[in-house]
Amino acid sequence: MSEISGTDRGGVAATHIVLDYHKRLKGLFHQYQALDLRESTLRDAVCRQILMEAEIHSKIDQDLLYPAIQACCGEDGIRRVAAAFAEHQPILEWVDKIRELYKEGHSWDTEMESLIEVLETHLEFESRDIVPLAEENIPLEQMGPLGMRIQLHKMELEELPEYADSRPEVTQNANGGEQMRGRHPGEAA
């Protein structure tokens, strides 16, 4: 298959969108870890974003990206995608555990570090194995439309009520400063 450019006849290639999401998550990890000595509400805001992005990432992979790859690749590809599917379960379990701990008033910093570690491993696997698999097997003319469906699905998921206090426009200062204060990971808007 020919090399995939940033754009093609149907829009931005799906794999470029996925890799951009990986960069966004990694940036949030660094933000969270840099906030170690700052006010806890700043960490809470970044935590909310990480939890939301982790769930949305999993949903997009499971609903769109992985099925598109499986439809176009052979048995080895199907096995690699199945391994990636399986990696989402512990990610979602950590997300649920962190939310539950917060609701109960317990500390969740250790669990957040574990979630970040699991997510980093998963993102590395996807970047190394799944994205190239997609680029090798999904026809070029399908990459743009798949990318558009991924972007639309992400926007739809971000608008769900459970993410109202997790969106960047809520947790980030529009002037480029620190995160807004006042809400916690399990707290409603």
Number of domains in the chain: 1
Confirm whether 98 is domain-assigned.
yes
Whole-number pLDDT of residue 138: 93
Residue 35 domain-assigned?
yes
Residue 107's domain comprises: 13-161
Name which residue leads in pLDDT, 165 or 56. Answer: 56
Say what the pLDDT of residue 180 is: 45
pLDDT of residue 38: 56
CA distances from 59 to 39, 53, 158 (A): 31, 10, 11
Q: Read off the pLDDT band of 51 (50, 70, 90).
A: very high
Region 9-19 average pLDDT: 78
Q: Which two tokens stand for residue 73?
A: 């690749």
Is residue 50 included in any domain, yes or no? yes
pLDDT bin (cut points 50, 70, 90) of residue 61 is: very high
Helices (H), the chain: 14-34, 40-60, 66-72, 75-103, 109-125, 131-137, 140-158, 168-171
Q: Is 5 exposed, middle or buried (0-12, 13-18, 19+ CB in 10 A)?
A: exposed
The reply to whether 88 falls in a domain is yes
> pTM higher than 0.85 for the full model?
no
Over residues 7-21, the mean pLDDT reads 75
For tokens 């979602």, name the residue.
92
| pLDDT digits 0-9 by tens, 94-109 | 999 999 998 898 888 8
Give a yes or no: residue 185 inside a domain: no
The pLDDT tens digits for 72-127 are: 988 988 999 999 999 999 999 999 999 999 889 888 889 999 999 999 999 999 99
| Spatial distance between the Cα atoms of 92 and 35, rounded to a whole number of angstroms | 23
Question: Helix (H, G, I), strand (E, B), or coil: what is residue 3?
Answer: coil
Q: 180 or 137, which is more confident?
A: 137
In a domain, 168, yes or no: no
The whole-number pLDDT of residue 33 equals 84
- Is residue 178 in some structural domain? no
Amino acid 4: pLDDT: 41
Lowest mean pLDDT among 4-8, 51-55, 65-69: 4-8
Residue 70 resides in a domain:
yes
Q: Give the model's confidence band at 152: pLDDT under 50 very low, under 70 low, under 90 confident, else very high.
A: very high
Using CA of residue 91, residue 117, residue 119, residue 30, what is the dihedral sign? positive
